[in-house]
Amino acid sequence: MFKVANTYCRNAEDRRDLRQEIAVQLWRAFPAYDEARPFPTWMYRVALNVAISFARRAGYGNAHSVPLDERVAEPADSRATIDEPDPRVEALREFIEQLDPLNRALLLLYLEDHSYQQIADVLGISQTNVATKISRLKQRIRDFVGSTARNR
């Protein structure tokens, strides 16, 4: 839930709101959960549907960048130490912020090590489509990292 919220929201308050909204929808949807089906697939479907709707409502296209300090400061447990941001994760986040909500969901599931079949089940597209899209995303990431490195 934290990762889904972090993938779709730009600031800490939005992330908190989104986590609450996901939690409420999970509770509401749970009575209809079919135990014969895998729990993670069900949970990701609910969480991603809520997150994508949230992002569209907030106008994800208006601005994609997140102030770095906001990301580093979250989650704000007073006891937690704030680690130096990993440049690889930062680059990945910058790339994710450029994607539309559906491709963000796809990349998030890929990064979370889900199989193509699981990704296809969560998103409702074919496995072949998943494979094609992931291959394109990998190419786009390579291009993005290359152009970012040239600009720095």
Q: Which of residues 36-55 bind other proteins (CB under 8 A)?
A: 42, 45-46, 48-50, 52-53
- Residue 9 or 105 having the CB closest to other proteins: 105
Site for other proteins, residues 118 to 137, rule: CB under 8 A: 121-126, 128-129, 132-133
Dihedral over alpha carbons 139, 41, 7, 148 (to 10 degrees): -10
Distance, C-alpha 133 to centroid of its chain: 16
Comparing CB distances to other proteins, the nearer of 33 and 115 is 33
CB of residue 22 to other proteins, shortest distance in Å: 8
The CA–CA distances, whole Å, from 46 to 32, 55, 119, 126, 145 equal 12, 14, 14, 19, 31
> H helices of the chain, where?
2-8, 12-29, 39-57, 68-73, 87-97, 101-111, 116-123, 127-151
How many positions of this chain bind other proteins (CB under 8 A)? 58
Say whether 5 sits in a helix, a strand or coil.
Answer: helix
Should residue 77 be labelled a site residue for other proteins when binding is judged by CB under 8 A?
A: yes
Q: Determine, following the binding rule CB under 8 A, whether residue 20 of this chain makes contact with other proteins.
A: yes
Burial class (CB in 10 A: 0-12, 13-18, 19+), 126: exposed
Given the complex with other proteins, which of 97 and 129 has the nearer CB atom? 129
Interactions with other proteins, residue window 85-114 (CB under 8 A): 86-89, 91-92, 100-103, 105, 110-113
Chain centroid, CA 47 distance in Å: 10
Which spans of this chain sit near other proteins (rule: CB under 8 A)?
Answer: 1-3, 16-17, 19-21, 23-25, 29, 32-33, 42, 45-46, 48-50, 52-53, 56, 59, 62, 75, 77, 80, 83, 86-89, 91-92, 100-103, 105, 110-113, 121-126, 128-129, 132-133, 138, 141-142, 145
